[in-house]
Amino acid sequence: MSPVLVQDYMVLSVEHVTDSTPIGLAIERVLHSRHHGFPVTDSEGRLVGFVSTKELLRARNRSQEPLRAILRPGTYTASPDTALDDAARVMFRYGLRDLPIVDPEGKLCGIISNLDVVRSHFERATPAKADTLKQLLSERYGLRFGYRRGIVPLERLSPTQWKVFEDELEGRRYELERGFAEPLLVLQKGAKWILIDGHHRALAAREMGLTQLQAFILSCDEPEKFSHIETGLERTAREHHLAGLEDIEVDRAAHHPLIEVTTQLLRRVDGAEPSRTSPARE
């Protein structure tokens, strides 16, 4: 398997300042952003350093001076073809929140944050879940299954979890707003899009006005044979009268327990329904 590269996860549109930017203007920009500092480039777009919020605020009495007056030249960088794990090690070793990415000419071409690194690990974990479920479905029904990555419409999803938790919904909304969302796991069966994993994500996205999400979509290689089988997932949905995301109950009192979801998924796919008093929680 080829390594995951920085270019697979870096942000291309980088908010930055030039070394001629007045310190006062840089302070205004950083105070009205979510950043803790900015990459600094020269007039030709080459990266010359990084200025932090602390450095800017220490120089607030020098607001008319250009950034080059306080800039410490040089900063840690990576190239687009750097292995993401290697970039993550650099960030961890030096306590960096962001790592500027430069092209062979030294020009700023992207940036990667520690959040992007975490997102990559989540996204790489989802195929492992898909592989596990594919194997389980194949063994359970004696049929071949595969999966692909694609876009699924939220309005067509059939949920299999009857309760979600408000505090976790808030967390998923936060992630979605920042472009950090692990793909859903969906089983496609004819016209049905059965949601296996990602109920909090899907419901949060729906409440935010989104209409579709990325997903790993499992499907049977022998759809005619599979169409006559009612899976444990479908049985759970039928017994709890779950037709769409609007049928999911939102628990606004209890707190979401952070437990391993895969065991719950395996039980549900295999047809062993979780306790009614302790719904599967993702």
| CATH label of the domain that carries residue 157 | 3.90.1530.10
| Enclosing domain of residue 184 | 143-269
Q: How many domains does the chain have?
A: 2
- Note the residue count of the chain: 282
Instruction: Lowest mean pLDDT of 38-42, 127-131, 207-211, 239-243, name the range.
Output: 127-131
Give the type of residue at 156: R
> Is residue 131 situated within a structural domain?
no
CATH number of the domain enclosing 63? 3.10.580.10
Are 251 and 157 in a shared domain?
yes
Rounded to whole angstroms, how far apart are CA atoms 54 and 57? 5
Are 155 and 259 in a shared domain?
yes
Are 109 and 217 in a shared domain?
no
Are 221 and 170 in a shared domain?
yes
Q: Could you write out the DSSP letters of every residue in 183-218?
A: PEEEEEETTEEEEEE-HHHHHHHHHTT--EEEEEEE
Task: Let me know if 208 is exposed, middle or buried by CB neighbors in 10 A (0-12, 13-18, 19+).
Answer: exposed
> Is residue 186 situated within a structural domain?
yes
Q: 261 pLDDT exceeds 60?
A: no
Average pLDDT over residues 262-278: 44
Are 45 and 105 in a shared domain?
yes
The predicted structure's pLDDT at residue 255: 60
Q: What backbone torsions phi and psi does residue 219 show, to the nearest 5 degrees?
A: -150, 155
> Is residue 173 situated within a structural domain?
yes
Q: What percent of the chain has pLDDT over 70?
A: 87
> Is residue 39 situated within a structural domain?
yes
Distances, alpha carbon 154 to alpha carbons 176, 201, 212, 268, in Å: 14, 10, 5, 21
Rounded to whole angstroms, how far apart are CA atoms 282 and 95? 31
Which tokens is 207 given? 């409440």
Task: Give the mean pLDDT of the chain.
Answer: 85
Rounded to whole angstroms, how far apart are CA atoms 124 and 3? 11
The predicted structure's pLDDT at residue 118: 80
> Is residue 183 situated within a structural domain?
yes
> Could you tell me which residue, 105 or 281, shows the higher pLDDT?
105
Which H/E stretch holds residue 40? Answer: strand 37-41
- pLDDT tens digits, 83-128: 999 999 999 888 899 999 999 999 999 999 988 888 787 666 667 7
The predicted structure's pLDDT at residue 274: 40
Q: Which residues fall within 8 angstroms of residue 126, CB to CB, at 6 or more apart? A: 182, 183, 185, 216
The predicted structure's pLDDT at residue 248: 93
The predicted structure's pLDDT at residue 210: 93
Are 152 and 264 in a shared domain?
yes
> Is residue 31 situated within a structural domain?
yes
Are 174 and 248 in a shared domain?
yes
Are 111 and 153 in a shared domain?
no
**Residue 111 CA from chain centroid, whole number:** 17
> Is residue 127 situated within a structural domain?
no
Are 82 and 164 in a shared domain?
no
> Is residue 278 situated within a structural domain?
no
The predicted structure's pLDDT at residue 260: 35
Which tokens is 240 given? 């709890």
Identify whether the C-beta of residue 201 lies closer than 8 Å to the C-beta of residue 182. Answer: yes
Q: What backbone torsions phi and psi does residue 255 show, to the nearest 5 degrees?
A: -100, 145
